[in-house]
Amino acid sequence: MECAGNGRGQLSPRYPSVPWLEEGVSTAEWTGVPLADLLDRARPREGTQEIVFHGADRGFDGGVEHHFARSLAVAQAMCEDVLTLPTP
Protein backbone atom coordinates (compact mmCIF):
# COMPACT_ATOMS: atom_id res chain seq x y z
CA MET A 1 0.00 0.00 0.00
CA GLU A 2 1.31 3.42 -0.80
CA CYS A 3 0.43 7.03 -0.16
CA ALA A 4 -1.84 8.64 -2.78
CA GLY A 5 0.77 11.40 -3.10
CA ASN A 6 3.66 9.03 -3.80
CA GLY A 7 5.65 10.25 -6.79
CA ARG A 8 4.08 13.73 -6.68
CA GLY A 9 7.53 15.36 -6.45
CA GLN A 10 8.32 14.07 -9.96
CA LEU A 11 5.41 15.86 -11.67
CA SER A 12 6.10 18.67 -14.08
CA PRO A 13 5.21 21.32 -13.31
CA ARG A 14 6.02 20.33 -9.74
CA TYR A 15 3.08 20.24 -7.35
CA PRO A 16 3.70 23.02 -4.78
CA SER A 17 2.99 21.06 -1.58
CA VAL A 18 4.07 17.80 0.02
CA PRO A 19 6.53 16.82 -2.75
CA TRP A 20 6.71 13.08 -2.02
CA LEU A 21 9.11 11.07 -4.10
CA GLU A 22 8.77 7.28 -3.66
CA GLU A 23 9.08 6.89 0.12
CA GLY A 24 5.41 6.80 1.20
CA VAL A 25 5.08 2.98 1.14
CA SER A 26 3.90 0.53 3.83
CA THR A 27 5.83 -2.63 4.65
CA ALA A 28 2.92 -4.32 6.42
CA GLU A 29 1.47 -7.64 5.29
CA TRP A 30 -2.01 -7.08 3.88
CA THR A 31 -4.82 -9.51 3.16
CA GLY A 32 -8.00 -9.05 1.19
CA VAL A 33 -9.80 -9.93 -2.02
CA PRO A 34 -7.84 -9.62 -5.27
CA LEU A 35 -9.01 -6.48 -7.04
CA ALA A 36 -9.07 -8.47 -10.30
CA ASP A 37 -11.93 -10.58 -8.89
CA LEU A 38 -14.02 -7.45 -8.26
CA LEU A 39 -13.15 -5.94 -11.63
CA ASP A 40 -14.15 -9.17 -13.37
CA ARG A 41 -17.57 -8.88 -11.74
CA ALA A 42 -17.84 -5.12 -12.37
CA ARG A 43 -16.89 -5.53 -16.06
CA PRO A 44 -15.24 -2.16 -16.83
CA ARG A 45 -16.15 -0.81 -20.26
CA GLU A 46 -13.99 -1.82 -23.19
CA GLY A 47 -11.23 0.74 -23.67
CA THR A 48 -11.00 1.62 -19.97
CA GLN A 49 -7.41 2.68 -19.33
CA GLU A 50 -7.32 3.40 -15.59
CA ILE A 51 -9.24 2.59 -12.43
CA VAL A 52 -9.52 5.56 -10.03
CA PHE A 53 -9.76 5.15 -6.26
CA HIS A 54 -10.99 7.94 -3.98
CA GLY A 55 -9.98 7.74 -0.34
CA ALA A 56 -12.41 8.29 2.52
CA ASP A 57 -9.75 10.43 4.20
CA ARG A 58 -8.56 13.94 3.47
CA GLY A 59 -5.76 16.21 4.54
CA PHE A 60 -4.84 19.85 4.86
CA ASP A 61 -1.76 21.46 3.38
CA GLY A 62 -1.16 25.18 3.54
CA GLY A 63 -4.68 25.60 4.91
CA VAL A 64 -6.23 23.97 1.83
CA GLU A 65 -8.27 20.77 2.18
CA HIS A 66 -7.28 17.95 -0.19
CA HIS A 67 -9.22 14.77 -0.92
CA PHE A 68 -6.94 11.84 -1.71
CA ALA A 69 -7.25 9.80 -4.90
CA ARG A 70 -5.00 7.55 -6.96
CA SER A 71 -5.37 5.59 -10.16
CA LEU A 72 -3.93 2.35 -11.52
CA ALA A 73 -3.63 1.26 -15.11
CA VAL A 74 -6.08 -1.58 -15.76
CA ALA A 75 -3.21 -4.04 -16.43
CA GLN A 76 -1.65 -3.16 -13.07
CA ALA A 77 -5.01 -3.32 -11.24
CA MET A 78 -5.57 -6.83 -12.62
CA CYS A 79 -2.34 -8.23 -11.09
CA GLU A 80 -3.09 -10.95 -8.54
CA ASP A 81 -1.13 -9.21 -5.78
CA VAL A 82 -3.33 -6.07 -5.90
CA LEU A 83 -5.88 -6.35 -3.09
CA THR A 84 -9.04 -4.60 -2.06
CA LEU A 85 -9.47 -4.37 1.68
CA PRO A 86 -12.74 -4.98 3.52
CA THR A 87 -14.48 -1.86 4.80
CA PRO A 88 -14.86 -1.60 8.59
Q: What is the pLDDT of residues 2-42, one digit of tens each?
A: 666 677 777 777 766 666 777 666 677 777 888 999 999 99
Q: What is the pLDDT of residues 52-71, one digit of tens each?
A: 988 888 888 778 888 888 88
Has this prediction a pTM greater than 0.75? no
Burial of 35: CB neighbours in 10 Å, binned 0-12, 13-18, 19+:
buried
| Structural domain includes residue 62 | yes
| Structural domain includes residue 2 | no
Which domain range does residue 48 map to? 8-84
Region for 65 from its dihedrals, namely left if φ exceeds 0, alpha if ψ lies in -120 to 50, beta otherwise: beta
Q: How many domains does the chain divide into? A: 1
| Structural domain includes residue 47 | yes
